[in-house]
Structure 1
Amino acid sequence: MNQLRKFFKYIKDYSKYVDFSLLITYIVLCMMGLVMIYSASMIGGPRGMLSGAGAVSSTYFYKRQLFSIILSFGIVFFMTYFMHINIIKNKRVQQFSIIAVLLLLVATMLFGTEVNGSKSWLNTGVMMIQPSEFLKIVTIIYLAYIYDKKRQLDQMSLDLFSPIFLIGFCSGLVLLQPDMGSALLIFMIIISILLYSGIAFGTMIKTAGALVGVACLAFIYNMATIGSLLTPHQVARFEVLKNPFKDESGIGYHLSNSLMAIGNGGLFGRGLGNGIMKLGYLPEPHTDFIFAVISEELGLIGAVVIISLLFFIVYKGFMYAALATSMFYRLICIGVASYIGIQSFINLGGVSGLIPLTGVPLPFLSYGGSSMLSLSIAVGLLLMASKHVKQEAEHKKQMKIK
């Protein structure tokens, strides 16, 4: 009984450093995602219209996502209250993370399962995982760790470029799957972290050139293997932006149905569960096109609420980055904010026709265990960093009083 009392006292004492507005926003997004995944799959699942599963029960995707959310909530709670930031700074933890994700990416290249033209899934025997999702987290913590240790960031040196080359090589493996959406997101996370790392502008330009070089090598590989810079699947996604309704039953099928679903919702939507386009018209309504289902069923108001909640998390990340005195905390916050913000833009831009479709899921709302775990770890990192930023601010305040 005493141990239980101590546990709750510890939770109460530490709760004053926890940003509950951030935590509640994360929970609300996950719960809304769970509801919309059930709505998007409850009819298509039993009819076998959703890829990779065949005919399944109406609650198949709901239950699997619920399991991922429960596991994710546990991870976020543990990271927030019981995990010290110094664990991430441990050299061996960093080395293990890099080696583990590199091996997973290589294994995916050799033994991965192809889904929708991308060989990015690995069957571990227990569950299907997408290693590129965890590379996003490793990119954030590894670059934050490395550049926090560097003191002469204005000088060109191997110490500056070695982490970029290593992460760039891993990103190149993702690009070769080919998973252009995830590779693009990782490159943009790298650029975001570099912008806040204190590196001189000229040095940053040369570093960006090195990243472009990695992308060029991947394109050269494509030229050698398939005879073109982009796969036919990728070329079609660029071409469809010109006029998605020109070939509605061909290359424009995905985007034209997505746009119709968004337009059908109007201001207030058709009502939860009453969407039409998810009934065999929208491909992957529970994953890539979950926002189209949300827009049709909850209308413009529901779509704006979702976008606002995602923006709030991104805003919190940049806010804590501005308040942090430690380079490590700052880069963690920037990395997480960039991860969630850019991934949201890529998904929303794809389903609305602003940019080519990439297959990148909408954070916290799309179905997917790997994505949910990765994004939840990112939120856990942000909560950990924000907790230490608050503790530093409180310490400074006490020092001024003394």
Structure 2
Amino acid sequence: MADRKLFALVCVLIGISVLLTYSLSVYFTIFSGVGEFHFAIRQFIFGTISIFIMWSLAQGDPDRHLSPVGFTLFIGSAFLMIIMPFLPDFLVTAVGGAKRWIKVFGFSLAPVEFFKVGFVYFLAWSFSRKLGHHGDMGIKEEFIRFAPYGIVFIGAMFVIAFVQNDLGQVVVLGLTLLFMLMFAGSSFRFFLSLLLGALLFFLFFIFTAEHRILRIKSWWALAQNSVLDMLPARLATALRVPTEVEPYQIGHSLNAIHNGGLFGTGVANGTFKLGFLSEVHTDFVLAGLAEEFGFMGILFVTLLFMWMLQRIFKIANRTRSTSTYLFSIGIGLLLAFAFLVNAYGISGITPIKGISVPFLSYGGSAVMAASFGIGMILMASKKAKME
């Protein structure tokens, strides 16, 4: 029997997302000229489909169905991402010159969301066959062993970061890959080497795009005072960003969080969703949640999310299959990093990356893709020794 607690926890998070979408999208519905229930109804449809996806996958036999589903997601979504720039405009939706969504029956789906789940399955499947404990292996041998995966990741990174102009997804995927390598048996020394290389690549991507530089400056303009006060005056002066760089979104996000206090302003009573935070029901959903439900609302959702991760990691720990173990760990890491990157961004700790909150942010692609990952874990849980 599949893990019922994990299924129920995800269903509760999806239900909360429908409520938040209705409450937080009020300004955007007026701005877009649609009915007040427009986005809530769409999120309800996405959520219902996602729950059905999880339930359907949970009925499958992991020995027969897990691999076909995983490779279909990996190969199919990779193919779509590659051909998207060449598709006509009536089939794709472009934002900022980057084609990220494919139009299907009046909805827009982002292949990159499904690619992340498929990529994690590919890594888990391959790591379980090619990697193992590093033993006395030198770092050079570890790099040689890792090289094929590095080439695949660099290819994916090029498509996502340059073709689709979405660096945030690369950050989440890169972190997931690094930690999966640790669980697959690589040495800590190799992990640190890859982490340093990833930081250098990250800086390269930032300084090759003007909009990313401006985003970093916007974040630093807000965070610099608390940091520069601890540095020598000469160094602080050199690092200070001119005040004309306006931390617009982060500033309003922090004000929304502060306005919520301990218990919040109440459902539909938030003010910063009224044009101050753009599309607050998507990337800034946690800021909207904090304003209307306060610290207690954030705490409740965080505990639900942590409970969900605990069930995922428990399934991973109880399974006998190495590939299933790594896949479950990878999906848990993927969801955890997305939550943390978003939470750190809206609270001003790190720059905003445009990453949605799993199962909470409005959007069909993200919730359905994550549901594929959870559904595959539910399928695998039937062969794990659970309490």
TM-score range, shorter chain: 0.7 to 0.9
Question: Are the counterparts in 2 of residues 105 and 170 from structure 1 also a CA contact under 8 Å?
Answer: no
Greater Cα shift, 151-160 or 69-78: 151-160
Matched, 1:194 2:178: no
Greater Cα shift, 153-162 or 136-145: 153-162
Matched, 1:387 2:379: no
CA 1:295/1:212 → structure 2, altered by over 3 Å: closer, same or farther? closer
Greater Cα shift, 229-238 or 155-164: 155-164
Q: Could you say which residue in structure 2 is the equivalent of 1:149?
A: 129
Counterpart CA distance in 2 for 1:249 and 1:382 is 48
AA aligned opposite 1:183: V
CA 1:172/1:274 → structure 2, altered by over 3 Å: closer, same or farther? same
Matched, 1:358 2:353: yes
Counterpart CA distance in 2 for 1:306 and 1:247 is 37
Counterpart CA distance in 1 for 2:84 and 2:366 is 16
Counterpart CA distance in 1 for 2:190 and 2:344 is 31
Counterpart CA distance in 2 for 1:194 and 1:71 is 33
Q: What is the root-mean-square deviation in Å for CA atoms of aligned residues?
A: 2.8
Counterpart CA distance in 2 for 1:205 and 1:74 is 41
Q: Could you say which residue in structure 2 is the equivalent of 1:284?
A: 279
Question: SS of the counterpart of 1:142?
Answer: helix
CA 1:89/1:160 → structure 2, altered by over 3 Å: closer, same or farther? farther
Greater Cα shift, 97-106 or 347-356: 97-106
Q: Could you say which residue in structure 2 is the equivalent of 1:14?
A: none
AA aligned opposite 1:39: S
Matched, 1:58 2:53: no
CA 1:311/1:235 → structure 2, altered by over 3 Å: closer, same or farther? same
Aligned pairs (5 A) from 1:164-203: 164-176=150-162, 177-201=164-188
Question: Are the counterparts in 2 of residues 120 and 174 from structure 1 also a CA contact under 8 Å?
Answer: no
Question: Are the counterparts in 2 of residues 174 and 182 from structure 1 also a CA contact under 8 Å?
Answer: yes
AA aligned opposite 2:47: I
Match of 1:71 among 49, 53, 56: 49
Match of 1:32 among 16, 21, 43: 16
Deviation, 1:44, is 2.8
Question: SS of the counterpart of 1:128?
Answer: strand
Deviation, 1:124, is 3.1
Deviation, 1:60, is 1.1
Counterpart CA distance in 1 for 2:308 and 2:60 is 22
Aligned pairs (5 A) from 1:251-400: 251-390=246-385
Summarize deviations over 1:99-137 as a string: whole Å, max 9, x none. 32222112334455333x472522335331212111210
CA 1:248/1:267 → structure 2, altered by over 3 Å: closer, same or farther? farther
Matched, 1:244 2:222: yes
Summarize deviations over 1:347-395 as a string: whole Å, max 9, x none. 11111101100110011110001001111112112222322212xx79x
Question: Are the counterparts in 2 of residues 109 and 173 from structure 1 also a CA contact under 8 Å?
Answer: no
AA aligned opposite 1:60: H
Greater Cα shift, 342-351 or 324-333: 324-333
CA 1:70/1:335 → structure 2, altered by over 3 Å: closer, same or farther? same
Greater Cα shift, 36-45 or 244-253: 244-253
CA 1:86/1:271 → structure 2, altered by over 3 Å: closer, same or farther? same
Question: SS of the counterpart of 2:311?
Answer: helix
Question: SS of the counterpart of 1:102?
Answer: helix
Question: Are the counterparts in 2 of residues 97 and 138 from structure 1 also a CA contact under 8 Å?
Answer: yes
Counterpart CA distance in 1 for 2:380 and 2:147 is 26
Q: Which has the higher contact order (CA 8 A, sep 6+)?
A: 2
AA aligned opposite 1:107: I
Unaligned runs of 5+ in 2: 224-240
Deviation, 1:163, is 3.5
Counterpart CA distance in 2 for 1:145 and 1:94 is 9
Matched, 1:122 2:101: yes
Q: Could you say which residue in structure 1 is the equivalent of 2:231?
A: none
Match of 1:44 among 28, 33, 36: 28
Summarize deviations over 1:264-317 as a string: whole Å, max 9, x none. 011111110111111111111110111111111111100110111111122222
Greater Cα shift, 95-104 or 376-385: 95-104
Counterpart CA distance in 2 for 1:359 and 1:22 is 27
Q: Could you say which residue in structure 1 is the equivalent of 2:74?
A: 98
Question: Are the counterparts in 1 of residues 261 and 295 from structure 2 also a CA contact under 8 Å?
Answer: yes
CA 1:319/1:55 → structure 2, altered by over 3 Å: closer, same or farther? same
Counterpart CA distance in 2 for 1:181 and 1:175 is 8
Summarize deviations over 1:302-337 as a string: whole Å, max 9, x none. 011011111112222223333333211210111011
Counterpart CA distance in 2 for 1:247 and 1:44 is 32
AA aligned opposite 2:60: F
Deviation, 1:193, is 1.1
Counterpart CA distance in 2 for 1:352 and 1:212 is 22
AA aligned opposite 2:334: Y
Question: Are the counterparts in 1 of residues 73 and 118 from structure 2 also a CA contact under 8 Å?
Answer: yes
Count of residues in Structure 1 that have an aligned counterpart in Structure 2 = 358
Counterpart CA distance in 1 for 2:179 and 2:125 is 15
Summarize deviations over 1:72-103 as a string: whole Å, max 9, x none. 1111001112343432335xx66544332222
